[in-house]
Every structure is written in C-alpha cells, then in structure tokens.
C-alpha cells in the first residue's frame, strides 16, 4: 500500500491569502498488488473560483479561421 499526502498548490488560493496556507488536503492510497487507487479530500479551497479564460480579440478569431 502506497500513501501520499497532497497539499493545495493553486495560484489563486496563494493570491487570496498570501500569509496563510490553504486548508485543502488530499490523500491518495494506492494498492500496488490490485492496481486500485482511492482518493480522499478534506476541507475546501480558499477560493473556489477558476482563473478567467483569456478573451479572444477579433484578430485572433480571424487567425483561427
């Protein structure tokens, strides 16, 4: 059994609270004999907001056509 602890590495969480760590943690358990993986999460991210997608300019749209 392999055991991994994960911590938040989100840039938006770091920007929202630069002096405090995000409380989100994850755990991955991997059984190497059976090739099974279990993932678990605890707590929530500081900022659930995703980064905004860049807006395409008319010139970029013409280039894509």
Residue ranges per structural domain of the chain: 2-64
pTM of the entire predicted model? 0.57
User: Mind listing the pLDDT tens digit for each residue in 38-54?
Assistant: 999 888 776 766 666 77
Q: Do 2 and 27 contact (CB within 8 A), yes or no?
A: no
Higher pLDDT, 18 or 53: 18
If phi > 0 it is left, if psi is from -120 to 50 it is alpha, else beta; for residue 43 that is left
Measured between alpha carbons, how far is 25 from 36 in angstroms, rounded to an integer?
Answer: 20
pLDDT of res. 53: 72
Spell out the alpha helix ranges (H) of the chain.
Answer: 11-16, 58-64
């Amino acid at each position: 059994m392999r055991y991994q602890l994960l911590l938040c590495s989100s840039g938006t969480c770091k920007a929202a609270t630069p002096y405090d760590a995000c409380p989100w943690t994850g755990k991955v358990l991997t059984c190497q004999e059976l090739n099974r993986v279990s993932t678990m999460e605890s707590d929530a991210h500081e900022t659930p907001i995703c980064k905004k997608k860049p807006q395409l300019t008319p010139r970029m749209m013409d280039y894509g056509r």
